[in-house]
Amino acid sequence: MIRAVFFDFYSVWTPDKISYYLAIGQQNGPETYKQLCDVVEAYYHGKIDINFLADSFRVKLGHEDISSKIFLLQEKDISPQVINFMRGLHGHFLKLGILANLGIQEYKLLSDFNEHNQIFETIASPLSLQLNLPLMSREVFGKSLQAIGEPLDNSVLVSGNLALLEFASNLGMGVIQFEGFDKLQKTIDQLVNQDLSS
């Protein structure tokens, strides 16, 4: 029975600009890609700020147009559709959480958003859990489930990141590939109704 739904941040709430620029870095060769991956991982663990992240991409990719403004998010950027959707899920008595890579600015954004809207039971990331591990690790997933108070088989992860979905599925968590809020609402309604009828 589904009792908890975790959402990835990038690809669900906002376009994944970091992955977009990492893909460009991959075209510049394995060394550049590895260096940028290390910078991104440091960002997700709170070791560098958004300015350092943007500077690294600008220098390594040779794109003078890259600045921190590209990666900077504000609460007003969150669509009312997202808020209405999340509130609708609470109507199904589902616990909601974020399970994602978050830098300091994304974590603050979501924390402030949650303070105003009271939607999430937990906002989990390697940074918020103070784990010096990648997102795709058993420990991060285990601590996230502890925080939301549900076991693996009662939880679902929503993401557009196929590698993350595969990792969660291999652990035994339910997964839904994000393809828009309308489709997601229908999929969750079906899952909840299946639970009620079984």
Q: Which residues are 159's β-sheet partners? A: 177
Alpha-helical runs (H) found in the chain? 17-27, 30-44, 50-61, 68-71, 80-90, 104-117, 138-148, 162-171, 181-197
Are residues 185 and 140 located together in one domain of the fold? yes
Q: How much is the pLDDT for 196?
A: 61
Residues 92 and 132 in one domain: yes
Phi, psi for 18 (deg, rounded to 5): -65, -45
Nearest-angstrom CA–CA distance, 20 and 87:
30
**Percentage above 90 pLDDT, the chain:** 72
| Rg of the Cα atoms in the chain | 17
Cβ atoms of 188 and 5 closer than 8 Å = yes
* Mean pLDDT of all residues in 1-17: 88
* Residue that finishes a domain, picked among 26, 55, 71: 71
Summarize pLDDT for 72-88 with one digit per residue, the tens. Answer: 988 877 777 788 888 88
Whether the model clears a pTM of 0.75, i.e. scores above it, the answer is yes
Residues 30-84 pLDDT 10s: 999 999 999 999 999 999 999 999 999 999 999 999 999 999 988 877 777 788 8
Domain co-membership, 48 together with 94: no
Higher pLDDT pick, 79 / 116:
116
Q: Which amino acid is at 162?
A: L
Contact 56, 36 (CB under 8 A): yes
Torsion sign, CA atoms 10, 16, 18, 19: positive
Give residue for tokens 């209405």: 84
Handedness of CA 41, 46, 48, 53 (dihedral sign): positive
Q: How many domains does the chain have?
A: 2
Please identify, among 54, 71, 88, the residue that sits at the C-terminal boundary of a domain: 71
pLDDT, tens digit (0-9, with 9 covering 90-100), for 123-150 = 999 999 999 999 999 999 999 999 999 9
Most confidently predicted of 12-16, 116-120, 133-137, 194-198? 133-137
